[in-house]
């Protein structure tokens, strides 16, 4: 099953995001084929990130939550909230 991790940054957290970015990217790379896509949400001015969207394959919601909690951004306290939603990849899914 696929899960979308919809993460919203705390206000004024740009420095924390930048300091932990490399560890976050390494963590995501370490997920291997379980990672289906990821990237930041941006402010309307397209300059500053405001959160992250991470799409992963997990056996269930608890496993997806464990991945979200292990993310260095989460461990550093970057996120104001993390929403975990089952996601069905219908269009342009390379596995179909």
Residue 7, domain CATH = 3.30.70.1060
pLDDT for residue 47: 85
Residue 54 belongs to what domain range? 2-87
pLDDT for residue 16: 97
Query: Is pLDDT above 80 for 96?
Result: no
CA gap 82, 21 in Å, rounded: 17
In a domain, residue 10? The reply is: yes
Banded pLDDT at 46 (limits 50, 70, 90)? confident
In a domain, residue 95? The reply is: no
Number of structural domains (the chain) is 1
In a domain, residue 94? The reply is: no
Query: Is pLDDT above 80 for 82?
Result: yes
In a domain, residue 11? The reply is: yes
Does the pTM of the predicted model rise above 0.85?
Answer: yes
In a domain, residue 79? The reply is: yes
CA gap 56, 34 in Å, rounded: 5
């Amino acid at each position: 099953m696929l899960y979308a991790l919809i993460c919203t940054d705390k206000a004024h957290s740009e420095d924390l995001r930048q300091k932990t970015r490399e560890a976050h990217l390494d963590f995501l790379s370490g997920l291997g084929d379980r990672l289906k896509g990821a990237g930041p949400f941006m402010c309307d001015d397209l300059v500053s990130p405001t959160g992250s969207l991470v799409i992963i394959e997990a056996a269930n919601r608890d496993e997806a939550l464990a991945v979200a909690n292990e993310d260095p951004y989460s461990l550093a306290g970057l996120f104001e909230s993390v929403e975990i939603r089952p996601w069905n990849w219908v269009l342009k899914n390379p596995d179909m």
